[in-house]
Structure 1
């Protein structure tokens, strides 16, 4: 049986692992350790919950040597503020017995406070691309001494539109460095970035991109609209006793708020909500409350999905299907982690069926469809976006022309076509005269 001792870690690092009671490395940690130690660029493909953070931290910390500089030599980029906080926490756990200065930076807080923290000196910097770029452009943060760059959740970075910031950051760094990238899926955009900016990275793959975790049971309901989805969700929460810890995914903040209001009315103080409009402190408190089991579930968006590192989630519910099939894979990967099993349930409206089919093609499997329980009310009440779609369909229809409408057929006399041409038109009275013609007529009269 493998253990962390095979990595021959420094005593300070091994002692931290022993105190954390970590004995056996995960497959991705085992497969990537020697590759990262070699100094080559690395592209790691692994599902969420497989121990990716320690997979890059352990070899980096084994190689770490103190240098008297104020600028970071290891930089870790992650997509969300929550993930910054969590990665910093993991670094601090492993460096308890080491002299390492770690700083996490992200947007949404006072940038001047972070500037002062940067001036105090950093060894390992963890940050979101936007705030890292802001501080670098202000000449507060120098990236010239970074020798190890880690980009975690690389596919999600690109999904969230961080490509311009990442490319800007790469141009601010010295080309001589090691790039370590981890991603849950291998998309065309990820592949394109690798070709453009990285030096033949060695791929370390734990599972085929798009392959769902085998420990997750996937189910779906075909549901006509938002309010019926709410009714099905309420029914499941009331009747399914196995729903202990739930993550409910929607596609935007507005739907998240609407859904939370409806669920809160039926199940008061049992569900939290996390999205980018909520304050950093509120989101961290909600996650902590969920982790302690004080609330049953969290309603969240994809923007927050990568920052939720919460264990023992029994169910993931896709209240709305994501826009990308790869994101579906990531969502359901929040359950069935480690040695546990999990259930993923998706609510599919007619307009979401194409995404479901794309996800099935990516996974090379079909998601079973369940019948809506007879006791669930099928609502005919539509919300704003659903009404708007109906209006658009209505506008696309050709208008019917009635006898009394303004689009009546022309009368017989108005059907005549004026072909124009000389002799066909009568001159207008008081029409402006041609002066040249008038002069010639005057000259003729004089000669007479």
Structure 2
């Protein structure tokens, strides 16, 4: 099928032509007709299947011009990078339309976003936290919202956005169409669907856990973190096919360690992206990676999830993720848009159980290749690779002689309960009794 066969208007088709897009992906094709019918949708699709266009195309087709310039479409995403990405795609699709898109997210002075919203918009892309902040301040008018999209829903719940989402559900008009997209469906997600959605149509493609056919998966047994650094150094320096690479690590500290090591060893064109980096740093790193200024980006899952990074040649699992489904998200960054890609997994002995979990999810074994003999094997272990628990050493405090636990009270502090004769005391003092007589 071609986009011309869908019920799209000329302005959108012209924009798609400018983007050199001709054929919809399976999820784009399936979502379009259901969305146009007005039904709620729950789309389950892996990374790289074209979810952003899947919901933007029908929503833009159904949009009607309004002089009020109040948002009719609200798209919620978990990170500022995803806000910027969706805004960019929406603007490219509406080049030939009188249509305004605004993106809002945390980490920016709210006054900047308030000023943008005062000018009006047709589509609002937001992170849940910033939307609730702006709505509480009265900067967002929600009465015209007719379409709600929640993208990367499972990631939102992982990040703890459920309270904000429920608040938004209650705040925006109840009469609306809901479109939810997620890579996985959890129990929490199903609960929210049951409460806030109206008999959503579930669209799933491809089956969760199945690796994409266009990805060549390689795996190597590597003893430890330092040896992995030696291995990736050799690959980046010598493998000419590694033209645009994503290296996934477990956390921010490991990302910084890997970047510093590679930089000191003379590996150029490499940068890092994680949540400790500033907004501008992260945007610039992605921009430089997309433009080809740098060819390797070291990242953590929490930041890189959902980003539409094009023409990635290699994905490196420097360490396997604890959640096997994240492995599918990672390798799905390559082998996109009818292109082939390669994933490389470096598996240490402490990651054997994680490897088994990935294989069980995929329903197939990872093919283990022989690690090149010229890779220098290191015996040095990082602190996080040592399984022995770190025992706290308790240093006893200096003893102070404070005497026995019981000691006699001082004389002035001794108290004895004695029954007093107040009348006798007054008679001695004043010479007569001050006892009041009861009148007859």
TM-score above 0.5, yes or no = yes
Q: Match for residue 75 of structure 1? A: 74
Measured in 1, the distance between the counterparts of 2:251 and 2:377 equals 24
What do residues 341-362 of structure 1 show as CA deviations (whole Å, max 9, x unaligned)? Answer: 1111122233322222222111
Q: 1:317 is paired with a residue of what secondary structure?
A: strand
CA contact (8 A) 2:83 2:105 kept: yes
Gaps of 5+ in 2: 393-440
Post-superposition shift, 1:331?
0.6
Post-superposition shift, 1:165?
2.0
Post-superposition shift, 1:257?
0.6
CA contact (8 A) 1:226 1:383 kept: yes
Measured in 2, the distance between the counterparts of 1:330 and 1:187 equals 16
Aligned residue-pair number: 392
Gaps of 5+ in 1: 396-448
Measured in 2, the distance between the counterparts of 1:196 and 1:228 equals 50
Q: How does 1:402-417 map to 2 (within 5 A)?
A: none
TM-score, normalised via structure 2 length? 0.84
Q: How does 1:56-67 map to 2 (within 5 A)?
A: 56-67=55-66
Q: How does 1:170-181 map to 2 (within 5 A)?
A: 170-181=169-180
Q: What's the RMSD between the two structures over aligned residues?
A: 1.9
Measured in 2, the distance between the counterparts of 1:259 and 1:34 equals 46
Pair 1:345–1:150, CA change in 2 (3 A): same
Post-superposition shift, 1:258?
0.7
CA contact (8 A) 1:186 1:209 kept: no
Q: Match for residue 19 of structure 2? A: 20
Post-superposition shift, 1:70?
4.7
Measured in 2, the distance between the counterparts of 1:324 and 1:106 equals 27
Does residue 89 of structure 1 match 2:82? no
Pair 1:149–1:271, CA change in 2 (3 A): same
What do residues 83-142 of structure 1 show as CA deviations (whole Å, max 9, x unaligned)? Answer: 111111111111112111210011111111111212222210001112112112222223
Measured in 1, the distance between the counterparts of 2:157 and 2:15 equals 34
What do residues 195-228 of structure 1 show as CA deviations (whole Å, max 9, x unaligned)? Answer: 2322221011221111110111222223332212
Q: Match for residue 320 of structure 1? A: 319
State the 4+ residue runs in structure 1 displaced beyond 6 angstroms.
Answer: none
Q: Match for residue 306 of structure 1? A: 305
Q: Match for residue 43 of structure 1? A: 42
Does residue 390 of structure 1 match 2:373? no
Measured in 2, the distance between the counterparts of 1:284 and 1:297 equals 15
Q: Match for residue 288 of structure 1? A: 287
Q: 1:32 is paired with a residue of what secondary structure?
A: helix
Measured in 2, the distance between the counterparts of 1:342 and 1:173 equals 42
Pair 1:10–1:43, CA change in 2 (3 A): same
Q: Match for residue 260 of structure 2? A: 261
CA contact (8 A) 1:45 1:184 kept: yes
Pair 1:142–1:249, CA change in 2 (3 A): same
Measured in 2, the distance between the counterparts of 1:25 and 1:201 equals 22
Q: How does 1:221-300 map to 2 (within 5 A)?
A: 221-300=220-299
Q: 1:254 is paired with a residue of what secondary structure?
A: helix
TM-score, normalised via structure 1 length? 0.83
Q: Match for residue 375 of structure 2? A: 376
Pair 1:120–1:18, CA change in 2 (3 A): same
CA contact (8 A) 1:185 1:210 kept: no
Measured in 2, the distance between the counterparts of 1:368 and 1:261 equals 31
Measured in 1, the distance between the counterparts of 2:48 and 2:363 equals 22
What do residues 291-320 of structure 1 show as CA deviations (whole Å, max 9, x unaligned)? Answer: 222222100111221253221111100112
Q: How does 1:33-182 map to 2 (within 5 A)?
A: 33-182=32-181
Measured in 2, the distance between the counterparts of 1:41 and 1:220 equals 41
Pair 1:123–1:108, CA change in 2 (3 A): same
CA contact (8 A) 2:218 2:368 kept: yes
CA contact (8 A) 2:274 2:303 kept: yes
Post-superposition shift, 1:41?
0.5
Q: 1:243 is paired with a residue of what secondary structure?
A: coil
Pair 1:192–1:223, CA change in 2 (3 A): farther
Measured in 2, the distance between the counterparts of 1:111 and 1:352 equals 44
Q: Match for residue 357 of structure 2? A: 358
What do residues 15-55 of structure 1 show as CA deviations (whole Å, max 9, x unaligned)? Answer: 22233332222222111111000111101122222222111
Measured in 1, the distance between the counterparts of 2:25 and 2:63 equals 22
Q: 2:129 is paired with a residue of what secondary structure?
A: helix
Measured in 1, the distance between the counterparts of 2:243 and 2:20 equals 26
Post-superposition shift, 1:65?
0.6
